[in-house]
A and B are shown apart, each in its own frame.
Chain A
């Protein structure tokens, strides 16, 4: 169902939601866009051409979270009560919502769902804002998505100038907007044009035909050492990535808690084994892992790229490693050009 949301009632809509649920919306703090709790009187930030700096995956997979508390004397374990109230995330970009849907294939599998992820996911409604003017660092259309992709979303807004066209995709998305007037044919047509123009603004950054097969062939290429030369080996690209989900589980024994923290394949200690052996001993193997996971291994488990083209890794890499350029280089690397150890 399509609705028309006049911009002049947007704030009051958010205020009304905030009385029923916890609402998060993009706002500027510390000089950049962040999803922050919405309170009447706050200032919305919807005109940035890109997404928030920190990825909204953290709403579902917090960077640090207590999985268990334990009592050593009594030999007891307890799972903390996950008291998550109903949440509405307003203004999430389609790349980030798609990433949440991709992560469902990891954390919300039928046979072994992650209860922490599941609870948060069930309690959270995602209202997306399509990107009429994607940023120069965006490349969603190159990875099978687009600036108005509705994967993972309950509803999607298209900016029509004076109003938003609201498309709803789920019952709970529908419920949020059901008191609005329906959109007319003219609105839908205008939205269609805007959506097409936005996609056209994004030139293909690389071709994905046969990319996986090619990457698998150049696994032993010198290329990875070349990338690794400038790579710092920090965690920016993976921590800011909306689809990277690796974690480490540690016991914070001083407070009797078992904690799950984000971890990253870019760190040396990530793959360091207890014996002292490290199967990914240099930055070359680690850079390759990040790359191969997104553009080869994801296809094996979910038939999708593990990248939604959000562009954060491009924008914030401190040494200017642009994953689009890396893919183009990888594609141009002949498969026989292997590095002999």
Chain B
């Protein structure tokens, strides 16, 4: 058990035993060593299985919308999760007063695919020690560099520290370098139209439409997704190029001003499809055009959800 895990457990125990929350949402170690499981603790006795490490890959804010507003929730949040929670509060999906955010300054999520690519599939355990990660497989032991295993979204992370946690456990981490995300997007933008189209199609058309990206995303909480509408039908439902392209492009656009670039969508994808380049581009546009960054507080509406009479697009005021 690591020190952070002990602290989280103690906090969770305090919140539950003092009756301050109804449930603590965190992670627990189940059988799969590469995939700790989102867990929902309601009893102190259950906390023994609570875990926290670099393999905890899900965005826990995803589970917030499963509870009624009245449920008092304690939740472990890293930088991105805290911002997702803020964005959800802005969208009135939960009441801030009913949340206790246990903040963890984040060292970045380890990408299980990178680990498996280096060590093979038969991973038995993953141990983190300072800057290295020790992976025990059935056949071997590997000592790998943490920095080389970080999920791409975490490499580009801007805000690893929770912004509005009620309790902060661990020392704050340095902020990320905003150029990293920009460089990647610019590299794509500098491609020719044909090359960009080829890139987009190559990624989108490997899709198997399992919608893991949607289900892993805290902001995809619509009761009925546009792809599930039958009257009218917005897209083809099969794995046709048109259907898959429509899914990828519309999913991304629905995230405009709502995505925190946490990368949970890519981490969930069973086909290793890159998709954050779409949402990251939209996030840069939001920053450049509206100086807006998602979830930096729990009050500011995203630009596309905002109506003002002094909008610089005059059509509203002029009624044309």
Contacts and interface: CB of A to CB of B under 8 A. Distances in A.
A259 B238 contact: yes
B40 A234 contact: no
A269 interface: yes
Contacts of A267: 211, 228
Interface stretch (B76-84, B157-165, B190-198, B202-210): B202-210
Given A30-B271, A31-B117, A234 B122 contact: no
A315 B268 contact: no
A261 B58 CA distance: 29
A318 interface: yes
A31 B216 contact: no
B213 to A, nearest CB: 8
B271 A322 contact: no
A229 B238 contact: no
Nearest to B39: A230
Contacts of B138: 136
Interface residues of B, number: 42
A307 interface: no
A31 B118 CA distance: 12
A60 interface: no
Interface string B216-248: 100000001000100000001111100000000
A319 B35 contact: yes
A62 to B, nearest CB: 8
A64 B40 contact: no
A230 B35 contact: no
Interface in A223-270: 229-230, 232-236, 239-240, 248, 250, 252, 259, 261, 264, 267-269
A24 to B, nearest CB: 17
A31 B206 CA distance: 13
B121 A49 contact: yes
Given A63-B238, A63-B239, A317-B32, A234 B272 contact: no
Contacts of A233: 215
Nearest to A32: B272
B238 A252 contact: yes
A7 B318 CA distance: 78
A274 B239 CA distance: 24
A181 interface: no
B208 A31 contact: no
B66 to A, nearest CB: 8
A48 B121 contact: yes
Given A30-B206, A232-B215, A234-B215, A261 B35 contact: no
A36 B184 CA distance: 31
B201 to A, nearest CB: 14
Interface in A126-159: 135-137
A222 interface: no
B32 to A, nearest CB: 4
Contacts of A316: 270
Interface of A: 30-32, 48-50, 53-54, 63-64, 135-137, 229-230, 232-236, 239-240, 248, 250, 252, 259, 261, 264, 267-269, 314-322, 324-325
Interface of B: 30-32, 34-40, 57-58, 62, 113, 117, 120-124, 138, 206, 208-212, 214-216, 224, 228, 236-240, 267-268, 270-272
27 contacts: A32-B272, A53-B270, A53-B271, A64-B239, A136-B122, A136-B123, A137-B121, A230-B39, A234-B212, A234-B215, A235-B211, A236-B268, A252-B236, A267-B211, A315-B121, A318-B58, A319-B58, A320-B30, A320-B31, A320-B32, A320-B34, A320-B37, A321-B30, A321-B37, A322-B30, A322-B31, A322-B32
